Amino acid sequence: MNSRRNFLSGSVATMLGAALVTKAGAASLPEAPLQSSAATMPPLMPPNGRPYNPVVTLNGWTLPWRMKDNVKEFHLVAEPVVREVAPGMTANLWGYNGQSPGPTIEVVEGDRVRIFVTNKLPEHTSIHWHGQELPNGMDGVTGLTQPGIAPGKTFVYEFIARRPGTFMYHPHADEMVQMAMGMMGSWVTHPKNPAQHRVDRDFVFLLNAYDIEPGARVPKVSTMLDFNLWTFNSRVFPGIDPLVVRQGDRVRIRAGNLTMTNHPIHVHGHSFEVTGTDGGWVPATARWPEVTTDIAVGQMRAIEFVADAPGDWALHCHKSHHTMNAMGHNVPTMIGVDHSGVAQKINALVPDYMVMGDKGGSMGGMQMPLPENTLPMMSGDGPFGDIEMGGMFTVLKVRTGQARNDYKDPGWYKHPPGTLAREWTGPMPAADAAKAPPADVNTLDVKRGSMPGMHH
Amino acid sequence: MKYPIACAMATLLLGGCASFSPDGGFDTVTSATRDRLGKDTRIVRTDADVAALAGTLAPLLATPLSVDSAVQIALLNNRGLQATYQRLGVAEADLVQAGRLQNPRFGFKRSHEGSDVLVDRSLTINLVNLLTAPLATRIESRRFEQTRLQVADAALTVAADTRHAYYGALGAAQQRTYARQVSDAAEAGAELGTRMAKAGNWSTLDMAREQSFHADAITRLAMADKDVLASREKLVRLLGLDSASAFTLPDRLPDLPVAAIALKQVDQIALRERLDIQAAKLQLQATAASLNLTRSTRFVNALEIGGVRNSASGNPPETGYELSLEIPLFDWGTARVAKAEATYMQGVHQLADTAIAARSQARESYGNYRVSYDLARHYRDQVMPLRKRISDETMLRYNGMLMSVFELLADAREQSGAAHGYIGALKDFWIADSDLQAALGGRLPSAPDGEKK
């Protein structure tokens, strides 16, 4: 895990935008830092402006700014990027400043924010600041509140970040294509008082999805629901970093959903409360305990809990296909199908053929060659073998000895004696369990309309 | 009058080659097959010839037939060709006959005149025959030469037909292999589909669909079987064999040659090399010669001259000449001349027609050869590698559970279909190669080396 990589070394600023903007405007533009790594970067401690407790963007980074006349100035460059979805697979996406999703923007309640947006895409774009209360003309809806930012042009947005909370940014121009291509980023407005809503570890990521044909690199932008890569911040397990916390830490996880379906996010080993929604912070009296929270399309949720249970806890979307990587959605079920004789026949024609799926979907650690630039349907090795997961799955690692601001992966949890499920090796009951009666084929052979008790 | 007759007879005896040649005119055929095909052929006449033939064929039939051995067997064992070879004997007999004088006619008449017994003896010789024999010999000699060319050409035709049939039979057998693979893939799919339905994983519709692939594949396999039978029997007939099991074929067609032969002015090669054109030329010359003959003999063809010796008993024999002359009073011979001229012009046009057809056929065959080569190479270098690539990629997608075993099987069916197409294209190339050889009158200027690979 490269999450400890020095932030500055990973974000060596490249004056990307400078080449595009006019000479007259260049002098007044802040630099547009570039991120080339898909690893989780450590929190960016605010060098100036109002103090706040920074977030950690899962497999992402926070965009540095400059203060000018008491205004926080950011520079986003919309451009094609190559994103590593997991080791072994890259995607040609559209993003911001070298990555998709783009960098997280962190500001403090009441900050005046000026964001320069340079368009290096082949078509016009815009940015909508999802959830912000701002002047209508800063809302970034092409045609409605502004013209599109033409390729090569730079627009500037300016408003005051009024309400603290969790937000997102994404285009409101050709958004079907641009969001399918990965144009999005997180936005966190911290409260003016750093002590308010204070947590020990504050994670943020977006739920997004892509349909990239195995062997291809560009997402299919016309796919509506049948995606094959369900991602946290455009990463799939085992490419997603774990959420590393110290035992007893108060943990916040902020997630925004920019896919086209809902995601019930489930945390093992702990119960949590939903403390924030799109509308703001939930009053303490209105919070209820959960172990799963459904994040609907276009929504954001902040959940909080005290990580009191040490261990390696699964954290995932509860839609089981969403914890898979690229898989065939039209593959027939083979369970229970006798292959004797047929397998040899098929082998005579297709020598590399192996029977799969007749006993279920588990591939039992089979290492078979796959098409280029794709990932196994489920993979990721754990201390006890194949985790058989992909997609929107990661691990919450709660450790006793983890240092306060240390996000380094501590390795696999070592279970104290007597706390691990184990094989029963004692005596078994003498009698076999009663066998199910054989299915009566005649009960299935009913003529249409002749079913007893059916009324027309 | 005695002297000119003796002179004519002497000329005839000196100039007439009125005897049978030791090879019966067969050397033209053997040199044609040897030069143009690199193969031997023989006339089978005697029991000893039959025994020798069996001895020659046995080793050729012991191993899978190559196209060369197939051609060799056909040249020796094709009975139709042997029948054609006998035309040489007929033509030579005509030639020898033409050079021989008609036997003199001896007449004997004994009559009574009262008590006298009169005896007439006459000896007549067909004088015109004597006069025209050299001419007739030349005509028959040309016809014999023409027959030799025609018979040699027939041997080349049988060789071309055999090559054609050989590649047809080989290609059909190989194509059946792929039809069987398609059927096997479909069978495995149908069986698995049935089990899928039985296990409750599939509907009757899905199952029926897989079974229908299999049913179609069985149909195509049966058609492939028919092709194999028909093409093999065609080859059997050309090889003159008693049974289709008398020979075996190799498993596969020869590879495509490294390069196609580049020829310029194929029509000129055809005109120069083709025996049927040479034979047609000779036929025209023969027609022309016989037209001259008709012109010179139209008034004298019935002229007969003979020595007469009459004797009556008790009297000294009466000797003298007898001459009869047809008087061109009713038939001036013009009809015969017109017929001969028409026949000549018929020959002229026929030769022109043969030449035009041969040139066109040569161009077409060469064009077909080049296109067939390119198509077979396209199959080999593009279609088949792409099919292989698709199969490999399909397999990878099966590995990743992105595709099902039914897609693997469907791909196996399609790959076999493409292989079937490739074999068809390769077969068509070798047939086009055979046709080009035939159209150019035998062996190609530089033989493709692919056959040896």
- C-alpha dihedral sign at B153, B159, B163, B165: positive
> Is the CB of B409 less than 8 angstroms away from the CB of A336?
no
Kindly list the residues from chain B whose CB atom is less than 8 angstroms away from the CB atom of residue A361: 401
> Is the CB of B401 less than 8 angstroms away from the CB of A333?
no
Structure tokens at A229: 């890569």
- What are the tens digits of pLDDT across the range A250-304? 999 999 999 999 999 999 999 999 999 988 999 999 999 999 999 999 999 999 9
Closest residue to A332, CB basis, from B404, B409, B412:
B404
Kindly list the residues from chain B whose CB atom is less than 8 angstroms away from the CB atom of residue A329: none
Residue whose entry in the numeric block shows the structure tokens 């037939």: B65
- The whole-angstrom distance between B375's CA and the closest CA on chain A is 26
Closest B-chain CA to A339: B192
Closest A-chain CA to B183: A349
- Give me the phi and psi of A445, to 5 degrees please: -90, 65
The strands making up A105-108's β-sheet, listed across from edge to edge, are A105-108, A185-190, A165-170, A128-130
> Is the CB of A338 less than 8 angstroms away from the CB of B195?
yes
Note the pLDDT of residue A10: 37
Q: What is the ipTM of this complex?
A: 0.82
Note the pLDDT of residue A438: 58
Contact B182, B416 (CB under 8 A): yes
- The whole-angstrom distance between B252's CA and the closest CA on chain A is 19
Residue by residue, what is the 3-state secondary structure of B377-390?
A: HHHHHHHHHHHHHH
Note the pLDDT of residue B5: 52
Note the pLDDT of residue B312: 64
Closest B-chain CA to A333: B201
> Is the CB of A361 less than 8 angstroms away from the CB of B401?
yes
> Is the CB of B195 less than 8 angstroms away from the CB of A342?
yes
Which of B207, B393, B396, B415 to probe the A interface (max A CBs under 10 A)? B396
CA distance B424 to A410: 65
- Average pLDDT by stretches of 10, chain B with 453 residues: 48 53 80 84 87 92 95 94 88 81 78 81 73 75 84 91 96 94 92 94 94 95 96 96 92 94 89 86 79 58 49 63 58 73 83 90 95 97 96 93 93 92 96 93 59 36
Residues of chain B whose C-beta is under 8 A from some C-beta in A?
181, 184-185, 187-188, 191-192, 195-196, 199-202, 206, 391, 393, 395-406, 408-409, 411-412
> Is the CB of A349 less than 8 angstroms away from the CB of B181?
yes
In this prediction the pTM is: 0.79
Note the pLDDT of residue B141: 83
Note the pLDDT of residue B405: 93
- Contacts A–B by Cβ distance under 8 A: 102
Residue A202 above 90 pLDDT?
A: yes
Contact A173, A26 (CB under 8 A): no
Kindly list the residues from chain B whose CB atom is less than 8 angstroms away from the CB atom of residue A214: 396-397, 400, 402
Residue A76 above 60 pLDDT?
A: yes
> Is the CB of A334 less than 8 angstroms away from the CB of B400?
no
Structure tokens at A436: 């199910």
- Whether a cis peptide bond, with omega within 30° of 0, leads into A54 is no
SS3 B176: helix
Note the pLDDT of residue B110: 82
Higher-scoring residue by pLDDT: A407, B89? A407
CA distance B256 to B118: 89
Residues of chain A whose C-beta is under 8 A from some C-beta in B?
214-215, 326-328, 330-339, 341-342, 345-346, 348-350, 352-353, 356-357, 361, 363, 368-371, 374, 376-377
Q: How big, in percent rounded to 5, are the helix, strand and coil portions of chain B?
A: 70, 10, 20
Average pLDDT estimate for A343-370? 83
Closest residue to B196, CB basis, from A332, A348, A356:
A332
Closest A-chain CA to B201: A333
Kindly list the residues from chain B whose CB atom is less than 8 angstroms away from the CB atom of residue A338: 195, 199
Closest residue to B400, CB basis, from A214, A346, A353:
A214
> Is the CB of A350 less than 8 angstroms away from the CB of B412?
yes
Kindly list the residues from chain A whose CB atom is less than 8 angstroms away from the CB atom of residue B203: none
> Is the CB of A352 less than 8 angstroms away from the CB of B401?
no
Closest A-chain CA to B414: A349
Closest B-chain CA to A326: B402
Of A389, A323, A378, A371, the residue nearest A213 (C-alpha): A371
Cite the beta strand spans of A122-257 per DSSP E.
Answer: 128-130, 154-160, 165-170, 185-190, 201-210, 229-232, 243-246, 250-257
> Is the CB of A346 less than 8 angstroms away from the CB of B206?
no
Kind and range of the H or E element at B165? helix B127-198
